[in-house]
Amino acid sequence: MIGSPKLGRTSFLHQLLNSKLINPRLGLIKRAELRLLLFVLLTSTVMSALSVNLAGAQTHATITISSDGGVKGTDKIQRDGDIYTFTGDIYGSITVQKSGITIDGTGYAFQGADFSRGIDLVGYGTFPTRCWDVVVKNLRICNSGSWGIYTTSNNNSFIDNTFDSSGIHILGSRSGEGNLIKRNLFNNSYITIDYNSGGKDVVTENNFVNSGIYVTISRPPHVDGNYWSNYTTKYPNAKERGNTGIWNTPYDYDMSDSSHGTYPCIDDTPLVHPVSLEISDAPPVENETEPFPTTLGIATILAVAAISIGLLVYFKKHNYAPSF
C-alpha cells in the first residue's frame, strides 16, 4: 500500500488538483471535503456582506439653497415660492444662503456626516454672513454627533423637529429678536449657545430626553415649560402644582462647570409630562440602491455554493481518489 502524501507539506490547491479529497469506496464526504465546502461558503458570505456594504453605501449629497432661491444638489427638495419641502430622506449637508424661507421636512429624515454641519444657515456675501427668518420644521435630524442646525443669526424658528444624537448650535447671535426653539424632541442631543451676549433665544415646550443645554461665554436663553427626562432623579421630592402639569421646583440645568458660562440656565415651569408633539409621521423612503446590493449578495452566495457542489460531483463522477 502506498502511503498517502504528507498534507502538511502539500498546498491546499495541489491537493484539490490531484483529487485527494474523495473516497469513492465509501461514497461519503470526508473531513477534508467538509472543510473545503465550509471554507468556500464562509468566503462567499464575507464577500457578499462586503458587496452589500459597499454597494449600499449612501452617497453624501452637498445641497445648496442659493440666494436666488434655487436648489442645487438634490431632487428631494421641492420649492414652492419660499417653501422648501422634503420629498424623501436625505443624507448630506444643506447650505442655506437665502433668508425668509421655510424648510418643511414633512416627517422625513435628514442625516449629516460626522463632525459636520447639517443645515448651515450661512447666508450669502462677505463675512460675516447670516440668514434671517428661516423656519425649519417637521424634520427628523440624526447627525451622529454633528450639528443638525447651525446658525449665527437671529429670528429663526426650529419647530416640531426630532433631534437624535444631534442638536442646534447658535453662535454669536448678539442682536435681533433671538431664535425660537419650540416643540422639538431632543434625544441624546444638545442645544449649544456660545459667544452670544443677547440672551434673547427662547427654548419652550420641548422634550429633553437624556439631553440638555450648554451655554458657553454667553447669556442663557429664556427657558420655560420644557419636559426633562431626568427631572425626578434630580428632584425626587418635587410635587406637581395642583393639577397644572407643572412641577413645584424649577429645573436648574447644572451650570457648575465654568465652561458652561456664568449665568444659570433655569426652567421655572418644568413639565410633569412630555409635550405632545406634532411631528409629521411620513414613512421614510426606501434606499434607492437597496435592491441592487441585496440581489448581488444572494447571487454571490448561490454562485459560490453551486461551484462547490459542482466540484464535489465532478470529483465523484471521475473517481478521483487516492490509490490503494
- Predicted TM-score (pTM) of the model is 0.69
Residue 197, C-alpha cell as written in the block: 451676549
Mean pLDDT score of the chain, rounded to an integer? 75
Residue 173, C-alpha cell as written in the block: 447671535
Q: What is the pLDDT of residue 43?
A: 56
CA-to-CA dists, residue 271 to 44, 239, 252, angstroms? 55, 11, 13
pLDDT band at 177 (very low <50, low <70, confident <90, very high): confident
Range in 99-103, 176-180, 200-204, 242-246 with the lowest mean pLDDT: 176-180
Statement: residue 50 has pLDDT above 60: no
What residues have CB less than 8 Å from 152, skipping those under 6 apart?
121, 122, 128, 130, 170, 171, 172, 173
Range in 47-56, 160-169, 311-320 with the lowest mean pLDDT: 47-56
H or E stretch including 172?
A: none
pLDDT band at 283 (very low <50, low <70, confident <90, very high): very low
φ, ψ for residue 76, nearest 5 deg: -100, 10
How many residues are given for the chain? 324
Distance from C-alpha of 276 to C-alpha of 78, rounded to nearest angstrom: 28
